[in-house]
Amino acid sequence: MKLLIQAGYVITGLPSQPVRRKQGILIEDGLIQAIDEWGQFSPEDDLPVIDARELTVMPGLIDAHTHVIHSGDPHEDWRLIALSELTPTTTLKAARHARRQVERGVTTIRDVGASDWIDIALRDEINSGRQFGPRILAAGHGITSTGGHMDARKYARPGIDNDLLNTIGAVADGPDEGRRAARMQILRGADLIKINATLSEYVRAAGGQCAPEMTYETMAAICQVAHNNGRKVAAHCHGGRGVQDAINAGVDTFEHGRFLTDELLDQLAERGRFLIPTLSPEARRAELGDIPEEPALLRWTTMATDAMYDTVARAHARGVQIATGTDAGMPHVRHGDLAFEMIHLAEADLPHQAVIEAATSVAATALGIENVTGAVAAGLAADLLLVDGDPLRDIGILNDPARIKAVLQGGRVTVDRR
């Protein structure tokens, strides 16, 4: 099936490409076939045409860090959700969260931790066409160490087995257990492997930033299994030796990274790794005045909030590739609110063009799907937004769903507000 979009303006999402005016976008079988000036197309009599002559066409957005089973409700007890909520209930909520992503212009998400492999099941249902939602790259369970960031036994009485808690974390200590855990996620159908390189929980009381969680040897073993099987590795991290070990081990994307030094940032840039800053959790807390009651957490959150914008600015200045991720599902961070993250990347002094790229082509490259989506370019999926206004001048436009007049996924209009 063919479709022609007459676009007033086109933002390709690719670097060093100016806005293109009065363009026709020819779509066939869900892929972009050609982009050229209106006059170069002679529509066939039966060729459907979308009139977007007063609108901006741009790539669908990509959120590279989500937890689809969690809602973002600050009152939700996400730590032991499998003990307090039926798995079917959690799954239905995840489907609702996925729908909200698309309704707000996010056509691809990467989920980095879900209980019971719900993210993988939801991905498969969406791919089958039986469920509405974005393209999902799913990690299944994140791999953590005993007492690590994703070890839910921290929240349960002693003696409770981790498998019984059925949370988003799989515990692995040492290289052999790391390999086994990575292979289990791949066996269940994971598109990537999520690990935890650092944690802050145990050093907060002493005013510390973070501590290493996994050893270099464990991370290297996991990366070897993942890369041998064509999967990328994402690491929860904040700074210090844990990040250095993760870089050396071969981790592909670095999540959060609040306290990265210039030396670490230079290594990320030189080795072509990606930073996904996830500014939204702290930014939402600050916006809403949600002050943590625990003194140690309050000190740490204040320290992280004060550091994160400077870290992003330094990363951009030093040539680190930055992609967008919201940490959707964490307190106050709702699914589909990627534009809020983009606004705060701009507040960290990223030029608007770089912010748009972070949410489209750079994010696609970080996820390894740059040959599938992420730009308005021939040969890629027609994952497109029709926007009222120019996001390059005002990124806040994307934060208003009413300004996103239509969403196309694979050339099919799935959201229409025209």
Give the range among 29-43, 108-122, 167-181 with minimum mean pLDDT.
29-43
The reply to whether 88 and 179 lie within a common domain is yes
pLDDT at 241 exceeding the cut of 80: yes
Write out pLDDT tens, residues 24-67.
999 999 999 999 998 888 767 678 999 999 999 999 999 999 99
Write out pLDDT tens, residues 179-211.
999 999 999 999 999 999 999 999 999 999 999
- Tokens 């999902």 sit on residue: 136
For the four alpha carbons of 301, 306, 309 and 311, in that order, the dihedral sign comes to negative
How many residues make up the chain in this entry?
418
Q: Judging by beta carbons within 10 Å of its beta carbon (0-12, 13-18, 19+), is residue 176 exposed, middle or buried?
A: exposed
Residue 44, SS3 per DSSP: coil
User: What number is the average pLDDT over the span 145-174?
Assistant: 82
For residue 22, the 8-state DSSP code is E
d(C-alpha 234, C-alpha 246), whole Å: 10
pLDDT band at 103 (very low <50, low <70, confident <90, very high): very high
pTM > 0.85: yes or no: yes
For residue 238, the 8-state DSSP code is -
The reply to whether 37 and 88 lie within a common domain is no
pLDDT at 167 exceeding the cut of 80: no
The reply to whether 107 and 175 lie within a common domain is yes
* 181 neighbors 220 (Cβ within 8 angstroms): no
Strands 412-416 and 404-409: antiparallel
pLDDT at 159 exceeding the cut of 90: no
pLDDT value at position 45? 66
User: What number is the average pLDDT over the span 80-107?
Assistant: 92
The reply to whether 53 and 72 lie within a common domain is no
Q: Judging by beta carbons within 10 Å of its beta carbon (0-12, 13-18, 19+), is residue 42 exposed, middle or buried?
A: exposed
pLDDT value at position 46? 76
The alpha carbons of the chain give a radius of gyration, in whole angstroms, of 21
Mean pLDDT of the chain, nearest integer: 95
d(C-alpha 381, C-alpha 398), whole Å: 21
CA angle 379/418/412 to nearest 5° reads 30
Question: For the domain that residue 53 is a member of, what is the CATH number?
Answer: 2.30.40.10
Give per-residue burial for 94-109: e unless 16+ CB within 10 Å, then b: bbebbbbbbbbbbbbb
pLDDT at 258 exceeding the cut of 70: yes
User: What number is the average pLDDT over the span 119-140?
Assistant: 97
The reply to whether 345 and 384 lie within a common domain is no
The reply to whether 45 and 123 lie within a common domain is no
pLDDT value at position 39? 81
User: What number is the average pLDDT over the span 350-367?
Assistant: 98
Q: What is the amino acid identity at position 250?
A: G
Question: For the domain that residue 321 is a member of, what is the CATH number?
Answer: 3.20.20.140
The reply to whether 246 and 389 lie within a common domain is no
The reply to whether 349 and 388 lie within a common domain is no
pLDDT at 318 exceeding the cut of 80: yes
The reply to whether 111 and 250 lie within a common domain is yes
Return the percentage of the chain with pLDDT > 90, whole number: 88
pLDDT value at position 78? 73
User: Residue 98's domain spans which residues?
Assistant: 61-367
The reply to whether 32 and 130 lie within a common domain is no
Total number of domains in the chain? 2
Instruction: State which of 367, 385, 402 marks the end of a domain.
Output: 367
Q: How many CA atoms lie within 13 A of 273 on its CB side?
A: 28
For the four alpha carbons of 311, 316, 321 and 325, in that order, the dihedral sign comes to positive
The reply to whether 236 and 314 lie within a common domain is yes
The reply to whether 17 and 135 lie within a common domain is no
